[in-house]
Amino acid sequence: MSTESLLTAAAVLDQLVGAGARQFFFAPGSRSAPFVYAAASRDGGDLATHVRLDERSAGFHALGAARATGAPAVVVTTSGTAVGNLLPAVMEADHAEVPLVLLTADRPPELRGTGANQTTRQPGIFSDHVRAAVDVVVEPGSGERETTAAVARAFESVVAALTGDGGTPPGPVHVNVALREPLQPPLGEGVQSRTAPDERSRCSGPGPTPSFAVDVPSGVWAASKPPTRVARSVVLAGDGAGPAAAELAEFLGLPLFAEPSSNARYGPNAVGPYRLLLESELGAGIERVLLVGRPTLSRPVGRLLARPDVHTAAWQPRPVAWYDDGRRRETVLRTSDEVLEFTGSGGADWLPAWQDLAARAEESLAAELSRRTVPGHLPGPVVAREVWRTAARHASVLVAGSSNPVRDLDLAAEPARGPLTVLANRGLAGIDGTIATAAGAALATGSPVRVLLGDLTFLHDAGSLLHLAAEHRPDFQLVVLDDRGGGIFSTLEHGALGEEPAWSATVERFFGTRPEVDLRALCASYGVPATAVSDLAGLRDALSAPVKGTSVILVAASRESLRDLHAAIAGEIGKL
């Protein structure tokens, strides 16, 4: 007869698969072993399993899988500090509204608080970073029917919380499960799935299907009439906005300012170098801003949204997690009718004026970047532009690392011809877990993934390159902008202070954090091929190869002249 813990684990997996979870990321551990044995008989059927050595990395793998597919993904850990290692991924999932399931094994109640090995207070450990938290405890001696019923009762709040129940945004949930020994099946006996074969769905390679802030059917505006009122409005698409933002801008004839991870940076209305133009004479004429998704990348956008002469509204058909009610000035619009009423239509000259200015700005930007592109020093925006173009040509998923890389994309990436899937951890904009996030996205979608990231972001998560012999290598390519330290601080106020002799050493030590490491040797130690490039031709050649397995491109760059570069770009744009 199957043990109590194995029956409990099988019932938990049934509930998670029923909620739409297909990707399960395991970190090794004995207390969580019942989940391993319960999943083994289903692997490749209605779920897929992946094993990662480090729980922090496993958490970000699951985050990437859930972000890329829009479906719940599960990370499974043993008890103790293993659970605490999930906190960074949980915090990101909370603010980014990602349906991440934290399935943690625990000691039974009778052992908690007794000093038992590897036992701590796991229920409630993630506080309000999770939408729901349940402690699954099955009474000793329960049979299969009683166990299934007890687990089902515990899950009543979990499914709605994962996907959003209308009153709360979707997000992570914590399922803590008490498991008693024995933790393994009897010799010669396995745990069989109770999911009928015809109910199983394919669990790998669906392609990227991320969830967006606004999810409306394509072509929804075809049945609508454009507003007759004319206004100098713009559509601002932040992280996760989705294609609806681009379709709305085109329908209304409005300029579209779209961050790379908005997944709306395409089409004739998209203004590429928009952030350089917001404080121009044309930008001063903006009357209304419709916000879709969450903007996080530039101070000019923040100043635009704070202007007292500009009316702002946010298109939010459902509640969101990234700010508290009443803490922002935008009027919340729930319906498409409210959106049309707020924005109005662009006048005959409004969009063409932005398109003309954008074309001249892109020409000026390209010229300035070309002047500064020399062997051994490829500016970040140049690298970002090439990676963007390659991802667009090959229809690969693009993951943008935090700090400078995503901002370089925002500055230099031309609007694409059609939708391009771009993922970024913009919930809390941390640099941790970027490699794992990309790997999880690649494993869950079956699509090749390219990643643009800085050297410190790479080093922060290099452990996620570790490959276990029995595991499938995801198809993803890391393009590392190797500028030997924290380049973003050069563009902030700290960079100006660092130019003063009295502060230069302090700023370099605490913010520059120059690493002393051979990145090629580090990659080799993980069995990952790395190509070093120092000029534009070499970068283009390295990017032209198909993404197969895991590989790294190391791009030689410098952060010494970043302030000068951005000042020169601003100066040239100011002449337009």
Residue 510 in any domain: the answer is yes
Q: Which two tokens stand for residue 75?
A: 């990370």
Residue closest to 387 by CA, chosen among 219, 547, 562, 199: 547
pLDDT tier at 205 (50, 70, 90 boundaries)?
low
Question: Are both 34 and 134 inside the same structural domain?
Answer: yes
- Tell which of 321, 354, 387 closes a domain: 354
* Co-location of 292 and 169 in the same domain: no
Query: Does residue 297 share a domain with residue 258?
Result: yes
Cβ-count burial 27-47 (b if 16+ within 10 Å, e if not): bbbebbbbbbbbbeebeeebb
Whether the predicted pLDDT of 572 surpasses 90: no
Backbone angles phi, psi at 403, to 5 degrees: 75, -135
Give the whole-angstrom CA distance, residue 232 versus residue 309.
12
How far apart are the C-alpha atoms of 32 and 89, rounded to whole Å? 19
Task: Say whether pLDDT at 202 is over 80.
Answer: no
Structure tokens at 24: 């399960």
The span from the CA of 344 to the CA of 61, in Å, is: 42
Residues 6+ apart with CB under 8 A from 322: 95, 96, 97, 294, 427
In the three-class reduction of DSSP (H, G, I as helix; E, B as strand; rest coil), residue 308 is classed as coil
Helix (H, G, I), strand (E, B) or coil at 480: strand
Average pLDDT over residues 182-201: 58
Based on the domain organization, do 349 and 402 belong to the same domain? no
Residue 262 has pLDDT above 90, yes or no: yes
Backbone torsions φ then ψ of 256, nearest 5 degrees: -120, 120
| Same domain (yes/no): 344, 393 | no
Say if residue 38's pLDDT is above 90: yes
Mean pLDDT of 90-114: 93
Q: What is the pTM of this model?
A: 0.94
525 and 394, same structural domain?
yes
Do residues 513 and 546 both lie within one domain? yes
Separation CA 552–CA 476 (nearest Å) = 9
How far, CA to CA in Å, does 306 sit from each of 309, 311, 418, 435? 9, 9, 31, 35
SS3 (DSSP) at 242: coil
Alpha-carbon span 70 to 206, nearest angstrom: 11
The pair of three-digit structure tokens given for residue 550, joined into one six-digit string: 């895991």
Angstrom distance (rounded) from CA 120 to CA 114: 10
Residue 365 lies in a domain: no
Q: Do 24 and 59 contact (CB within 8 A), yes or no?
A: no
Instruction: Indicate the residue type of 370.
Output: S
Kindly indicate the confidence band of residue 206, based on its pLDDT and cuts at 50, 70 and 90.
low
* H helices, E strands: number in the chain: 22, 17
Measured distance CA(199)–CA(45) in Å, rounded: 10
By percentage, how much of the chain surpasses pLDDT 90?
70
Counting the structural domains of the chain, the total is 3
d(CA 306, CA 440): 37
Report the SS3 class of residue 49: strand
Q: Look-up: residue for tokens 């903006």?
A: 286
Locate 441 and state its tokens.
Answer: 């996205």
283 and 339 co-located in one domain: yes
18 assigned to some structural domain: yes
Query: For residue 145, what is the domain's CATH number?
Result: 3.40.50.970
Last residue of a domain, one of 178, 211, 241: 178
Q: Give pLDDT tens digits for 351-368.
A: 999 999 999 999 999 999
- Domain of 257: which CATH number? 3.40.50.1220
Does residue 206 belong to any structural domain of this protein?
no
Is 241 found in the same domain as 153? Answer: no
A 10 A CB-CB count for 545 gives 11
DSSP string of 384-435, one letter each residue: HHHHHHHHHHHT-EEEE-TTHHHHHHHHHPPPBSS---EE---SS--STTHH
The token pair at 346 is 């662009």
- pLDDT at 435 exceeding the cut of 80: yes
What is each CA distance from 507 to 490, 493, 499, 500, in whole angstroms?
A: 9, 11, 9, 10
pLDDT over 60 at 283, yes or no = yes
- pLDDT of 252 > 60? The answer is yes
Residues 467, 425 within the same domain: yes
pLDDT band at residue 391 under the 50/70/90 scheme:
very high
Query: Do 419 and 561 have their domain in common?
Result: yes
From 322, 354, 386, the end of a domain falls on 354
| Residue 454 tokens, joined | 């800085």
Q: Residue 311 domain-assigned?
A: yes
Residues 128 and 21 in one domain: yes
Q: Tell me what the mean pLDDT of segment 451-476 comes to.
A: 94
Q: Phi and psi for 435 in degrees, rounded to 5? A: -65, -45
Please say if the pLDDT value at position 1 is more than 70: no
Residue 568 lies in a domain: yes
Q: Which residues pair with 476 in a beta bridge?
A: 449, 550
**Tokens (6 digits) for 294:** 């969450």
Is 193 within the bounds of a domain? no
Cα–Cα separations (whole angstroms), residue 148 to 2, 15, 191, 401, 407: 13, 9, 14, 42, 49
| Cα 256 from Cα 421, distance rounded (Å) | 17
**Residues 151-174: tens digit of each pLDDT:** 999 998 898 898 887 678 999 999
Q: Within 13 A of 390's CA, how many CA atoms are on the CB side?
A: 24
Q: Single out the residue of 161, 315, 179, 197 nearest to residue 247, CA to CA.
A: 315
Q: What pLDDT, on a 0 to 100 scale, did the predictor assign at position 168? A: 86
Long-range contacts of 492-499 (CB under 8 A, 24+ apart): 495/562, 495/563, 496/563, 499/563
The answer to the question of residue 200 being in a domain is: no
Domain that holds residue 335: 230-354
Report pLDDT digits (tens) over 502-521.
998 888 898 888 899 999 99
CB 572 within 8 A of CB 360: no
SS3 19: coil
- Sequence-distant (6+) residues with CB within 8 A of 7 are 138, 142, 143, 144, 147, 148, 191
* DSSP code for 213: S
